[in-house]
Amino acid sequence: MELKREHQLAVSRKRIGRLLRKQGLYTKGKRRKYKKQATDRCANPNLIKQNFHANKPNQIWFGDISYVPTQEGMLYCSVFIDCCTRKCVGFAIREHLRDSLVIDSLEVALHREKPKNGLLIHTDQGSQYTGHRFYEYSRIHHFPHSQSRKGNPYDNAVMESFFKSFKREILPNKQFQTKAQAKLDIIDYLESYYNYKRVHSSLNYLTPYEFEVSNEFS
């Protein structure tokens, strides 16, 4: 009797299912419970504490990312700025926001500047900087990583100021027509203009290059 009853119930469910599908209706399933997974984030304490001064180059670098819109889509620019000289020590321009964007720009900076041990790098808590790959990269290259408090742009004011000037001085009134044109203009701005021609009030109105040469840092 029990088997016969279960068979009848199964047949009834199938019939009900067919009738619902004909009307475009579906039964509401039981809510599945999901366990909250631990995120792959490696946030670090803020070691700068809004002290934006360094006695020599390659003691503190600040990093951040900004976007550049074009009519062909978005470009993303990762930049690292030296705290002492305000020089752009490295950058990368890509069509994505993956963590390789910031790692590529940092590799350029490390190759150019060849800093000694003890370099401190400060960024915000963007996922590119809190992910496992950047954590491992900082560990392998032996630099401590400082990060802004969550939602506090003043903790990375050097980069906020840089990108404010960057957008005002390089972005046209209208979007760039092509990504290739935007890349050329960004490279020219960072390589030729910003480091060698743009004066900074924080450097007694010298360019990063002039400030570095005039102080003869050893």
Measured CA distances, 19 to 11, 29, 65 (Å):
13, 17, 55
Tens-digit pLDDT profile for residues 3-62: 556 556 555 666 766 665 565 554 555 544 434 444 445 679 999 999 999 999 999 999
Q: Is residue 29 part of a domain?
A: no
Tens-digit pLDDT profile for residues 145-175: 999 998 888 999 999 999 999 999 998 887 8
Q: What pLDDT is attached to residue 78?
A: 98
Average pLDDT, the chain: 86
pLDDT at 65 over 90: yes
Total number of domains constituting the chain:
1
Give the residue with greater pLDDT, 19 vs 75.
75
Give the residue with greater pLDDT, 11 vs 90.
90
Q: What pLDDT is attached to residue 174?
A: 79
Q: What pLDDT is attached to residue 38?
A: 41
Q: How confident is the model at residue 104 (pLDDT cuts 50, 70, 90)?
A: very high
Q: Is residue 179 part of a domain?
A: yes
* Domain span holding position 70: 60-215
Q: Is residue 134 part of a domain?
A: yes
Task: Report which of 76, 71, 87, 103 is spatially closest to residue 186, judged by C-alpha positions.
Answer: 76
Q: What's the whole-number mean pLDDT along residues 64-93?
A: 97
Q: Is residue 82 part of a domain?
A: yes
What count of other Cβ atoms lies within 10 Å of the Cβ of residue 66? 16
Q: Is residue 8 part of a domain?
A: no
Q: What is the pTM of this model?
A: 0.80
Q: What pLDDT is attached to residue 42?
A: 64
Give the residue with greater pLDDT, 33 vs 97.
97
What does the CA dihedral 193, 197, 203, 208 come to, rounded to 10 degrees?
Answer: 60
φ/ψ (deg, to 5) at 91: -155, 165
191 Ramachandran zone, left/alpha/beta (phi>0; psi -120 to 50): alpha
Q: Is residue 185 part of a domain?
A: yes
Q: What pLDDT is attached to residue 23?
A: 59
Q: What pLDDT is attached to residue 81?
A: 98
CATH of the domain at 147: 3.30.420.10
Cα–Cα distance, 173 to 152 (Å, whole number): 29
